[in-house]
Copies of this chain bind each other. A is one copy, B any other.
Amino acid sequence: MTETPNETPDNAPQPERFNQARAAQAMAVLEDYAEMIGDLMDEMGEARITDIAARMGVTHPTATKAVARLKREGLAMSRPYRGVFLTEAGVALADRVRGRHRTVVDLLIAVGVPAETAELDAEGLEHYVSATSLAAFEMFLANSAARS
């Protein structure tokens, strides 16, 4: 191997922004599952693989794999044939995701997107909203409310 330390790719414009988007995308699925498990725990007291799969619109093996990944990331715990539970970190993530989702939906509505579309689009958008943008959204919403 020639010593090719992963230095800056080269003098290209900014390919990093794509990598950043790709990284966010990797996290997106985890976030969705964590949020879903949080919802199920709130509603039913526990999250079962079948329910998670049904809600996510996937088959149980797929849900199992996702849960395995959540466990690997320290976001969830589960014992064989028992329900799935979120760790403290998982709960924190779920809460954060939920809050962000609401903010995104509210912002979309605030700029004139129909409520239904806002919900639908937010599902895809939310994972790509940076903390900076989220803060801006909240400020914008606060100002809008105050001005109305």
Contacts and interface: CB of A to CB of B under 8 A. Distances in A.
Interface of A: 9-10, 12-13, 15-21, 24-25, 28, 32, 43, 51, 54-58, 107-108, 111-114, 117-121, 123-125, 127-130, 132-133, 136-137, 139-140
Q: Mostly helix, strand, loop or mixed at chain A's interface?
A: helix
Given A9-B51, A57-B9, A124 B21 contact: yes
A72 to B, nearest CB: 21
Contacts of A129: 121, 125
A119 B116 CA distance: 26
A125 B130 CA distance: 10
B124 A25 contact: yes
A112 B111 CA distance: 13
Contacts of A12: 54-55, 57
A12 B113 CA distance: 24
A37 B120 CA distance: 30
Contacts of A18: 32, 56-57, 123
25 contacts: A9-B54, A12-B57, A13-B55, A15-B57, A17-B120, A18-B32, A20-B120, A21-B123, A25-B124, A107-B111, A108-B133, A111-B137, A111-B140, A112-B137, A112-B140, A113-B136, A113-B137, A118-B133, A120-B130, A123-B128, A124-B128, A125-B125, A125-B128, A125-B129, A128-B128
